[in-house]
Amino acid sequence: MSQSPTTSPTQDYDPSAPLLEVKDLQVEFRTKAGVAQAINGMNFTLNAGETLAILGESGSGKSVTAQTIMGILDMPPGHIAGGEIRYRGQDLLSMKPERRRKLRGVSISMIFQDALSSLNPVLPVGWQIGEMFRVHHRMNRKQARQKAIELMKRVGIPAAEQRVGNYPHQFSGGMRQRIMIAMAIALDPDVLIADEPTTALDVTVQAQVMRLLKELQVENNMGLILITHDLGVVADVADKIAVMYAGRVMEHTDVFSIYSTPAHPYTKGLLESLPRIDAEGDRLSTVPGLPPTLTDMPPGCPFNPRCPYATDLCRTDRPELLPVADGHTSACHYREELYAGTITAREEVQS
């Protein structure tokens, strides 16, 4: 389906440009405690129909990335220190605010983690979904309500006609997240950003919601950015993965290579910490230590204090994100050795 010509100036877009391109994005938080480098040189491209998973632990900058792309980052304290975000070749960061607002929810849309707090508690869900049509497509109340019912049916909410006037608290967690999804896909966006869409849900419901997202993506040929800390979720749906650590991309490759030939010690550590049914022994492996404070980054590689392979070089020189194979990049001095599996841990790291 196409967007209404009055609300989306698609004619200005470069058809040869990738759907979404993030180049050397730098975001910092200027607080009283100092400047925190939340994102430090983020790069990726996303094409139509593709799923990029951004993986990382809390504070690694993955949610900040999503909010910066959406343009909903709180500024201040947030501050975009550099880089570009191009949607169909157009730089979102230098775009006029009013023009950018018209892209939000229409061309680039987002699903949040906690649907209960992300939905307005005092407005009926049908109203909240219908608002997309009323504001962006200038539909009347009745038409918008009809569209809301259709969308609620599409995302699998039973008895949509009866429930369109209900409030968010009257739905279960899984149903609420479906309502969020209905709202986000209402206007057939090109890019959908899902920020930990299943973290607040039961495991069985998680699988249903992920399946729904995948279905909708295929149906509308959307570019999907899936932000998660769950490697299990990633394996099922992602095409490409960017592993983030302390505001940097540590490794970026397709989903098969990340599991078969990880080329960064952090990725390797994460994979080893997954519980395996065929594993020997009884203790689950972990990545020792904690991520660095963003206001006080260690010199050299940010991962070096926790890295079992770290050498003096790692403590002084920060490795760039460089290729190890076709479409596979890693920010580690020993990426080649890790990729080839010819390196062993040098010392026991104290946590």
- Cβ proximity to other proteins: between 168 and 305 the closer is 168
Hey, how many other C-beta atoms are within 10 angstroms of the C-beta on 138? 12
**294-295-301-304 Cα dihedral, nearest 10 degrees:** -80
We find the least distance from the C-beta atom of residue 100 to other proteins, in angstroms, to be 9
Residues interacting with other proteins, by CB under 8 A? 70, 72, 101-106, 109-110, 112, 114, 117-123, 131-132, 135-136, 167, 169, 180, 183
We find the least distance from the C-beta atom of residue 63 to other proteins, in angstroms, to be 11
- Cβ proximity to other proteins: between 130 and 269 the closer is 130
How far is CA 307 from each of CA 228, 240, 349, rounded to the nearest angstrom? 22, 24, 7
We find the least distance from the C-beta atom of residue 22 to other proteins, in angstroms, to be 18
- Cβ proximity to other proteins: between 197 and 291 the closer is 197
Q: With CA atoms as reference, report the closest residue to 268 among 284, 285, 246.
A: 285
We find the least distance from the C-beta atom of residue 247 to other proteins, in angstroms, to be 21
Q: Are strands 51-55 and 108-111 parallel, antiparallel or unpaired?
A: unpaired
How far is CA 54 from each of CA 43, 153, 177, rounded to the nearest angstrom? 11, 30, 20
Q: With CA atoms as reference, report the closest residue to 228 among 180, 195, 267.
A: 195
Q: Where are the beta strands (DSSP E) in the chain?
A: 20-31, 34-46, 51-55, 78-87, 90-91, 108-111, 191-195, 223-228, 240-245, 248-254, 322-325, 328-330
What is the distance between the alpha carbons of residues 22 and 91, in angstroms, rounded to a whole number?
9
- Cβ proximity to other proteins: between 136 and 248 the closer is 136
- Cβ proximity to other proteins: between 137 and 315 the closer is 137
We find the least distance from the C-beta atom of residue 67 to other proteins, in angstroms, to be 8
We find the least distance from the C-beta atom of residue 165 to other proteins, in angstroms, to be 10
- Cβ proximity to other proteins: between 96 and 283 the closer is 96
Tokens of 133: 């049509």
- Cβ proximity to other proteins: between 74 and 280 the closer is 74
We find the least distance from the C-beta atom of residue 199 to other proteins, in angstroms, to be 14
Q: How many helices (H) and strands (E) does the chain have?
A: 13, 12
